Amino acid sequence: MNDVAIAADALVVADQRHLIHPLHHPKDHANARIFVEGRGAMLRTSDGREFIDGLSCLWNVNIGHGRKELADAAQAQMATLAYASAYAGFSNEPAIRLAERIIGLAYDNMAAAYFTTGGAESNESAFKFARYYWKRMGKPNKVKIISRQYGYHGVTLAAMSATSLPGYHKMFGPLVPEFLQVAPPYAYRWPGNGDAGIGAADAVEEAILGQGADTIAAVIAEPVMGAGGVIVPPPTYFPRLRQICDRHDVLLIADEVITGFGRTGRWFAMGHWGVEPDLVSFAKGVTSGYLPLGGVMASKRVHQAIEDAPPDEKFMHAATYSGHPTCCAVGLANIDIIEKEGLVERSAVQGRRFLEGLETLRSLSAVGDVRGLGMMAAVELVEDKGSRKPAIGLGPRVVAEAATRGLIMRQRGGGGTPVSGDSLCLAPPLMTPEATLDRIVQIVGESIEAAS
């Protein structure tokens, strides 16, 4: 063994001994892949292998790996003012400029942004914005949050309670009270012949009426459900959901942690359906993962409630790293790249082409559904196309086959409510070259055939 191999082996052993990972199980780390370098849509591991980053790591490296401009922005900001408090009475230029910039890119009704350090914290904050808003409006009992089955909103305690993928609950229950879940707009598995968009929006209204509208603060929804298996809603869903929220005085929180910053071919995704939410959670793509940052955008009416508050009702929500100057400077450099390189438009155009490529896999007997929007897509595996009987357990084998062919992707395990097949999830960086996108389609096809 050469020195490099010995060093890599020692790292694997130290990893097993001392590092607890997200979604940790020791068997996954018997031979962990240790990433050492990223360039564009490619990742290199400590054993010298190259992989296509088929999921932009965790749906977040939108501009691709290795952009020196972001390192330069961090270096320049750290050398000047690495950190300063943004608490009451204090501020800093990168945070101010990034908030202004993001509001300019988002929905017309948005007014101001609060910064966090990631997606779960953004959603925790959004729930508190919603409760705060209703207390300010004199409706203190509006506290409940409705989410959808298959939704993923992070795994801190309240975010986990909105997340509706049972694997995340089993060892950490009970859930926080006042969170409830309804049917998702999952067209491929919607029972009967009705429109899943209408039916799933009406399921939200039923829940509001069942609980009493005077108890519901907000509905939280990913515009396209990501970790749940890239579930793209029918076009009827969000316009109807918006009407239902308005009818019952319920806020609509768009969880755009994945879909923000160009992933679906728009800066923010609700625009696909002409809908404006009241609150927007974002993270991931705001810095393309180069530094941890997230946030919540508040619409004019929610912002006004904060601005008009008497001192004894001030917005007592906070975090040390809210408005972190270095993270915000990196966010600004990231948005510069997305704009200059036309990555939002590219995501729309290349995403369509990528989806067309994946559609050819429908000829395989194990492929039940192919869906996507912009640069996020899924291939759902079935045992039987006619009955749509889910294939469960095939996904991990396909993912392993893909890795041997040089592609990293993830699968969402089947089962759940409603029951589904394993779904292969793909979300490459927005800049991924055409030839690499074609290669992804080829590898996914070969891997399904090899694993079936």
Ligand X SMILES: Cc1ncc(COP(=O)(O)O)c(C=O)c1O
- How far CA 36 is from CA of 89, 273, 361, 407, 436, in Å, comes to 42, 40, 32, 16, 21
Rounded to a whole number of angstroms, the minimum distance from the CB of residue 8 to ligand X is: 27
Rounded to a whole number of angstroms, the minimum distance from the CB of residue 313 to ligand X is: 28
Rounded to a whole number of angstroms, the minimum distance from the CB of residue 155 to ligand X is: 7
Q: Which pair of tokens denotes residue 5?
A: 């191999």
Minimum CB distance to ligand X smaller for 285 or for 368: 285
Return the C-alpha torsion angle 38, 227, 363, 366, nearest 10.
Answer: 110
Minimum CB distance to ligand X smaller for 238 or for 368: 238
Minimum CB distance to ligand X smaller for 226 or for 368: 226
- How far CA 346 is from CA of 112, 311, 433, in Å, comes to 28, 47, 10
Rounded to a whole number of angstroms, the minimum distance from the CB of residue 389 to ligand X is: 28
Picking from 394, 155, 45, the residue whose alpha carbon sits closest to that of residue 380 is 394
Minimum CB distance to ligand X smaller for 151 or for 357: 151
Distance (Å, rounded) from C-alpha 73 to C-alpha 84?
17
Secondary structure in 3-state letters for 139-180: CCCCCEEEEECCCCCCCCHHHHHHCCCHHHCCCCCCCCCCEE
Beta strands 144-148; 179-182: pairing state: parallel
- How far CA 238 is from CA of 49, 210, 232, 352, in Å, comes to 43, 21, 11, 21
Minimum CB distance to ligand X smaller for 201 or for 220: 220
Q: Which residues contact 337 (CB under 8 A, 6 or more apart)?
A: 63, 67, 69, 70, 343
Distance (Å, rounded) from C-alpha 270 to C-alpha 39?
31
Rounded to a whole number of angstroms, the minimum distance from the CB of residue 89 to ligand X is: 29
Minimum CB distance to ligand X smaller for 286 or for 444: 286
Minimum CB distance to ligand X smaller for 263 or for 397: 263
Q: Which residues contact 314 (CB under 8 A, 6 or more apart)?
A: none
Please enumerate, as own/partner, the contacts of 165-169 that have beta carbons within 8 Å and a separation of 24 or more: 165/227, 165/228, 165/412, 165/416, 166/416, 166/417, 167/413
Minimum CB distance to ligand X smaller for 233 or for 357: 233
Rounded to a whole number of angstroms, the minimum distance from the CB of residue 263 to ligand X is: 10
Rounded to a whole number of angstroms, the minimum distance from the CB of residue 228 to ligand X is: 9
**Interface positions with ligand X (CB under 6 A):** 58, 118-120, 123, 152-154, 222, 226-227, 255, 257-258, 283
Instruction: Give residue number: closest CB to ligand X.
Output: 119
Rounded to a whole number of angstroms, the minimum distance from the CB of residue 258 to ligand X is: 5
Rounded to a whole number of angstroms, the minimum distance from the CB of residue 259 to ligand X is: 8
- Number of Cβ atoms within 10 Å of the Cβ of 101: 17
SS3 (DSSP) at 39: strand
SS3 (DSSP) at 396: helix
Rounded to a whole number of angstroms, the minimum distance from the CB of residue 72 to ligand X is: 25
Minimum CB distance to ligand X smaller for 123 or for 432: 123
Minimum CB distance to ligand X smaller for 156 or for 452: 156
- Number of Cβ atoms within 10 Å of the Cβ of 217: 26
